[in-house]
Structure 1
């Protein structure tokens, strides 16, 4: 993870901010108060009811990234942080006692390499040479990156910066889009909607301007960043083949989602559906900026969604939200591009392809891999295909030209870190793609996916079926595809996520089932996309796989083929996912052996079927090499000499190398297919209720969330549920799987709430539902609110007297009872016989100001308002001034209130 403190934002990062909003240059706020627990130059740790509030102040606004902001204490992350409106401070509540001994506090980002890990890899990794010369596969006859027969015309619409209200955000957002249309195309065309991710939303203004009351719309000299214009390549490729494309703006969501309970996923989904609602009107009755131009030209029963970064999570949520609303629009295909997946959602019923850029420096852990892992068996009989597309040498930003230096309107940067020549992702490293090369790959796979799924252009199937076929326009890019065929085109032999039956493993081989520990002992979380925790569903189990290890060449893992399923002539290949054990050798091998009923067998080395058992490029450190399962694909045509009508067993044999260890998953026979996809509207919908409770004064009380289903199911339905948020010592941690038996529709989740008697903050937390099985997430976040019911302490401020030679005059502040909040008082100094600048000063650096403030720290009952005394050498009478107190936070005081300060001469 990249640590960002108050002085470590580089000039390059400042450019990324695009001249982010700045606080007023002078007198913006009083300095931070002294601390009673722990403090540093730019951070504080304060006791509160929920534990300890850790706050970090930044010299410059934090960057807008798609990853979540975290705080690291002494190099170890302690939780997700909330950003202030001006992004100049971040804070969280932690119950971790380690924060009491804090020496450093830094801002880091979810998915980045762990604090303290090696930052760059000047030396190549052990398999870099393999990947620099890796075969790119056979070129597809129909290149999806090439232009089609239609000329493309573009237009834009702008219905206003606050044209729609997004309940998931609690704010209004813009309705702005760029339209790409096939000229002279007749009849209704499939519609594809593009949604960009989280990026700077305003640029080009004067940083000395005060931070506005509202961050959006842009005001003064600031202009909106046109992120929605950055996908011309794939949009024009699709439009030239007869598809209607709309790329929409989400700047308002980016401006406000730092405080959203789900990081803005629901709001982004609502924004997509709001645009589809516009297009429903414009394509039926017309109106708006286009009149009747698109009447009869758009097919809203055949819709695809592409979302970049947090937009990826947004379009995944949009597909589910649409299904929950009865499938109002025919969303049939979703492509999350370098996406976040903070809450472990599934996207059943809809064709999906997840693009994973290997050199992603923003969503560095490639957490979008979990969309594939979690959805692939989430609904029995799901006939939608899905895939992952890993692009070596690609970063996060360059898929969008408006996020690419030299191409963008607003300032932009390369999100990968390290030195230019570093392996495997430095901008000048041989394996790194240029911006234009990366954009060509994005165009090919985005356009190819939607043409395949919306247009059923089956000639494009080899691009996404895992068969190593490539698009010629992708050039030298090394791309690896993992695919799950539709249920009707697949025969699953074993998911390899449960212990194998007795006798299945013999010889020198042994197997274990692993999930969270599959990442190995030498890697950090950023290297392990399958197994890194999700930040809103950290306790939900991750992918379980079989770990096969051996110490000799006679080991066998044997999987039988059940009677009635032994005729495999209709399938194209035997496939499974595999990866070398990250704690083992960088490359290994085993044999894939298929045996028929007569004992005849064909055995093929896995190394002859691809490079799944070769570690991906890079040395250990800075989040690489990634430990990703990839496809081993044995074509059925290679099984010569055996009876394909009577295949009895599939074996993995350790006869290639004497010692090794690999991770295995998803063994099946399959054939490529487009399947059938669309809104999963018939699935039962799962929702979490919300609760509100008063904290109480003694003991522990228990509150009940209810997880409910929209209707009973004839098969068991399950979902994981866990508490998340600022739990501290008040809200108990709960995490478990909820299983609905056939006929059940409600389940109770009980959460303990611990009482106290000190005034504190109201605590907001969530009950998060994730990874459903045979159900659809409707209300996946239940909202919890613990209302502090303790009285706000009465505050008194007394007069003060000091001798001129003393450094300060201190007005005493007294609380009637200790509080878990900071109690702060502000006021204005007024001259009496003593005058400001001559006899006393506010205590702040020049220019002198008349306001004064004081604090009482959490847990204390005493504090002061402090005024600096000028020690002159002139004999004077006793003098006085007043402090008129005008505002208070955290306490009760009758205002305005005036106290007198007296200065006695010492000359």
Structure 2
């Protein structure tokens, strides 16, 4: 697991996402008076608020609406997820860490982009391609399919839209009302019940145009602004499917985009609820009729044969919808899920359902390609899972261009190329020869979306080669370079070695070594267990980068094989029951080269039978998995992705396929190297069996609220529960997430339920004290379940401070003219863990501003009458500073006043008027 300080305890900015009962964005009816500023820069400041210290960053131009999480970095260290204002120009988060009071710099960074250099350098030609970039301009290509899934079918397509209103349905996971809007693509003349496919777009701007004034509510659009029609952006794939007899609906989720910055899970649950709400409407319209379509669709839709596509944050939304549907008994037959350039913030699994994850190599938004974890985490999560799954990596594709409404020159609202590089040197630059143009990328999307759903909903097996790892191509995908990794269904697969645990004794000979690794280590960081690689944190390792809501949950384990000469052999012996491999089509495994190793590497795969006869196949002959992916070692490139080595069993001539005794990976091709290995298996392509996983137990975390107490140690007791006992052991990872400060103990735990167990307790210690402190809100996050589904995966915790607020006493000031810097005294009745601040105005008496005194904090503006003061955490004394002007004129004592009209963190009545008396010393 990656050891990254930024991920260990996210600040209360994250707690605002994860907080107990907090589901809405912060739109209060009446704004309080401004808090005093206690740290600031040109475009940022830090102020005390009820929950801690609010850090605010103001941008000169609106920040993009991205799928990735917006983070605030204080002095270069990301400290948490920020909330964005509705005009995207202001970002805020709240932390209880007093270190932010000493901030020197605050910047906006994005999850997945951490460590990435400024792409403007790329557009200036500063970046150069890696040593293997040329290969990817003329790579090995698979055979063309005879039938193209993007080719229009026999049905004409009728389109229509429905709009039930901007606030037509309440989404509990959002705490807000959402629009119910969709575009319908119908095959004209198709008879009987048709498979149903629903598309969900991702996080993008939700309103455009208008007055640009910040509204009180971000949704619905106001002041002349119009909704961004993101749901209309998938016409190509939708029409291809509809023309082949599939009923397609693409729905709008602008309200979720408007509010998901204030939701504990960034909107995944709300998106799932929105999908299921639309499906319930279509259930009514296709059975009883009514609504906007009358009886048009009665008897025409098969809601037991459903596919879901989700783009961007919509990808996590459709994955969550499949799980929630199963949690609720499988009302709808969701049988195929396609996350497109998705986020995976919480490390969920999607067992039982056919899945393909599309990963655009030049994704400039979800640039760490975190959707890879949907595949990695689900592969072996449930015993007997009969579904098939795959990843589809598309070189030259960015995040946005799959949706025409997110594509410049095609969209109604403003849009952009999310990668951003305008040069031609690096492989994701707009002018690079391997970068796909928008229409080329959309053609790829159409081919794979249409092919996937036609395969799994229509059993059109002619499209299976697009997803089985054989790298077959669709003519409509043009010159796109696509690499597919597939896990065949259990019925046609024999797992030989997953390479996720230590090798048996004697498996290695020669000058070779192997270690099981997981995660990535930042440069100069220490790792408690072997990590797979060292990185700069730029999102270049999708298998091993940490997730944001499950930061310390282990990532996929693999074997790292290293060798120093050509004598190394890793031998996997097959037990007697596995030696007959005649029924399988291929021997396959996943591999990738070590990014720190030589530019070129290779292995031989040697298959040995019972009589010692063998066939040896160089990896480079059948796969480019050990050819580095393109890109310079910057901008999050090149990606370190495991790819398929697939050797047809039919090519293993001269050995007895009824009696295969061993598979050897030999280092006889190059003298030195390191590679990663995973998922060695014999398999044949198959569609598998896909259905909601309703028979699995469901695992949930409780909510808990406790008082801090005055003495000793209290506990916060979370309960992790299964909704019923399981006959198999159930495992789930649990970790705390939020700003625990020094009060609440941290936990990272693997929770195992033995057969028959249904409840486990996780206790966190709470240090009691008698000092006034902030209430602490945090979460217990469950992730990557085994033999179960995630039901309520976020347990919300709150520790309520029960100590009295100390009283603050302000005093008058008597000073001598020559004193210079001096202050009105501030005294607390007891130390507090809070920052205590006051704010007020200076008023002249016989002493005059600038002539006799100055406001201390406003030397650049000597005419300012603002006065601030504070008492630091743990202290009882503070000052409201001013400066006394020392002149040479003999004069009587003079006075001025300070009117304190605001105070934070203490018990005090305001306004109060304080008097300063200056005694002449001339």
Instruction: Settle same-fold status: TM greater than 0.5.
Output: yes
CA contact (8 A) 2:178 2:256 kept: yes
2:649 aligns to what? 636
* C-alpha distance in 1 between matches for 2:62 and 2:852: 38
The range that moved more, 471-480 or 146-155, is 146-155
2:107 aligns to what? 106
- Of 689, 692, 700, 2:713 maps to 700
Alignment deviations for residues 738-785 of structure 1 (CA, whole Å, 9 cap, x no partner):
111111111111111223333333211111111111111111111101
The range that moved more, 45-54 or 777-786, is 45-54
1:130 aligns to what? 135
- Of 38, 44, 48, 1:34 maps to 38
- Structure 1 position 898, deviation (Å): 5.6
* C-alpha distance in 1 between matches for 2:850 and 2:597: 71
Alignment deviations for residues 504-538 of structure 1 (CA, whole Å, 9 cap, x no partner):
11122221111124542355351100001111111
1:67 aligns to what? 68
1:229 aligns to what? 232
Return closer, same or farther for 1:817/1:175 CA change in 2, 3 Å cut-off: farther
CA contact (8 A) 1:554 1:653 kept: yes
- Structure 1 position 85, deviation (Å): 6.6
1:310 aligns to what? 313
Matches within 5 A, 1:775-854: 775-796=788-809, 815-823=828-836, 854=868
- Structure 1 position 854, deviation (Å): 4.6
CA contact (8 A) 1:354 1:388 kept: yes
Return closer, same or farther for 1:424/1:454 CA change in 2, 3 Å cut-off: same
- Identify unmatched segments of 5+ residues in structure 1: 4-20
- Of 679, 682, 687, 1:666 maps to 679
* C-alpha distance in 1 between matches for 2:713 and 2:491: 52
Instruction: Answer yes or no: is 1:748 the counterpart of 2:761.
Output: yes
The range that moved more, 581-590 or 680-689, is 581-590
Instruction: State the SS of the aligned residue for 1:77.
Output: strand
Instruction: Answer yes or no: is 1:260 the counterpart of 2:260.
Output: no
CA contact (8 A) 1:536 1:768 kept: yes
- Structure 1 position 857, deviation (Å): 5.0
Alignment deviations for residues 225-250 of structure 1 (CA, whole Å, 9 cap, x no partner):
21111111111111111111111111
Return closer, same or farther for 1:901/1:623 CA change in 2, 3 Å cut-off: same
- Of 569, 574, 588, 2:601 maps to 588
The range that moved more, 475-484 or 39-48, is 39-48
* C-alpha distance in 2 between matches for 1:889 and 1:49: 8
The range that moved more, 510-519 or 183-192, is 510-519
Alignment deviations for residues 245-285 of structure 1 (CA, whole Å, 9 cap, x no partner):
11111111111111211111111111111111111111111
CA contact (8 A) 1:48 1:820 kept: no
CA contact (8 A) 2:116 2:538 kept: no
CA contact (8 A) 2:256 2:270 kept: yes
Q: Root-mean-square deviation (CA), in Å? A: 3.8
Instruction: Answer yes or no: is 1:601 the counterpart of 2:614.
Output: yes
- Structure 1 position 430, deviation (Å): 0.8
2:913 aligns to what? 899
CA contact (8 A) 1:253 1:268 kept: yes
Alignment deviations for residues 386-417 of structure 1 (CA, whole Å, 9 cap, x no partner):
00000001111111111111111111111113
Return closer, same or farther for 1:271/1:868 CA change in 2, 3 Å cut-off: farther
* C-alpha distance in 2 between matches for 1:839 and 1:49: 36
CA contact (8 A) 2:36 2:47 kept: no
* C-alpha distance in 1 between matches for 2:51 and 2:593: 43
CA contact (8 A) 1:823 1:891 kept: yes
1:177 aligns to what? 182
* C-alpha distance in 1 between matches for 2:295 and 2:895: 77
Alignment deviations for residues 319-357 of structure 1 (CA, whole Å, 9 cap, x no partner):
111100000111111111111111111000000000111
Matches within 5 A, 1:682-697: 682-697=695-710
1:245 aligns to what? 248
Alignment deviations for residues 780-832 of structure 1 (CA, whole Å, 9 cap, x no partner):
11110111212233345567799999999987665444444445667799999
* C-alpha distance in 2 between matches for 1:698 and 1:497: 46
CA contact (8 A) 1:806 1:869 kept: yes
Return closer, same or farther for 1:832/1:893 CA change in 2, 3 Å cut-off: same
Return closer, same or farther for 1:363/1:881 CA change in 2, 3 Å cut-off: same
- Of 482, 488, 509, 2:485 maps to 482
Alignment deviations for residues 635-664 of structure 1 (CA, whole Å, 9 cap, x no partner):
111112222222221111122222222111
* C-alpha distance in 2 between matches for 1:806 and 1:281: 81
The range that moved more, 348-357 or 404-413, is 404-413
* C-alpha distance in 2 between matches for 1:508 and 1:124: 33
Return closer, same or farther for 1:836/1:172 CA change in 2, 3 Å cut-off: farther
1:528 aligns to what? 541
* C-alpha distance in 1 between matches for 2:861 and 2:293: 56
CA contact (8 A) 1:93 1:728 kept: no
Instruction: State the SS of the aligned residue for 1:444.
Output: helix
Alignment deviations for residues 138-197 of structure 1 (CA, whole Å, 9 cap, x no partner):
111111122111111111112122211111122221111111111121121111111111
Instruction: State the SS of the aligned residue for 2:113.
Output: coil
Alignment deviations for residues 43-67 of structure 1 (CA, whole Å, 9 cap, x no partner):
4578999998765454455432111
* C-alpha distance in 1 between matches for 2:134 and 2:555: 32
CA contact (8 A) 1:520 1:581 kept: yes
* C-alpha distance in 1 between matches for 2:490 and 2:91: 49
The range that moved more, 224-233 or 766-775, is 224-233
1:8 aligns to what? none
* C-alpha distance in 1 between matches for 2:305 and 2:434: 38
* C-alpha distance in 2 between matches for 1:252 and 1:539: 31
- Of 136, 141, 148, 1:143 maps to 148
* C-alpha distance in 2 between matches for 1:28 and 1:894: 16
The range that moved more, 641-650 or 765-774, is 641-650
Matches within 5 A, 1:711-730: 711-730=724-743
- Identify unmatched segments of 5+ residues in structure 2: 7-24, 521-530
CA contact (8 A) 1:334 1:350 kept: yes
- Structure 1 position 701, deviation (Å): 2.0
Instruction: State the SS of the aligned residue for 1:613.
Output: coil
- Of 79, 95, 109, 1:93 maps to 95
The range that moved more, 434-443 or 653-662, is 653-662
- Structure 1 position 81, deviation (Å): 4.0
CA contact (8 A) 2:609 2:655 kept: yes
- Structure 1 position 868, deviation (Å): 12
Instruction: Answer yes or no: is 1:856 the counterpart of 2:859.
Output: no
Matches within 5 A, 1:380-459: 380-459=383-462
Alignment deviations for residues 815-861 of structure 1 (CA, whole Å, 9 cap, x no partner):
44444444566779999999999999999999999997855354255
Return closer, same or farther for 1:467/1:722 CA change in 2, 3 Å cut-off: same
Instruction: Answer yes or no: is 1:771 the counterpart of 2:776.
Output: no
CA contact (8 A) 2:574 2:661 kept: yes
* C-alpha distance in 2 between matches for 1:734 and 1:292: 55
- Structure 1 position 726, deviation (Å): 1.4
CA contact (8 A) 1:391 1:478 kept: yes
1:461 aligns to what? 464
Instruction: Answer yes or no: is 1:288 the counterpart of 2:291.
Output: yes
Return closer, same or farther for 1:282/1:652 CA change in 2, 3 Å cut-off: same
The range that moved more, 789-798 or 314-323, is 789-798
CA contact (8 A) 2:436 2:480 kept: yes
Instruction: Answer yes or no: is 1:162 the counterpart of 2:167.
Output: yes
* C-alpha distance in 2 between matches for 1:814 and 1:427: 61
Q: How many residues align?
A: 879
Return closer, same or farther for 1:484/1:653 CA change in 2, 3 Å cut-off: same
Instruction: State the SS of the aligned residue for 2:578.
Output: coil
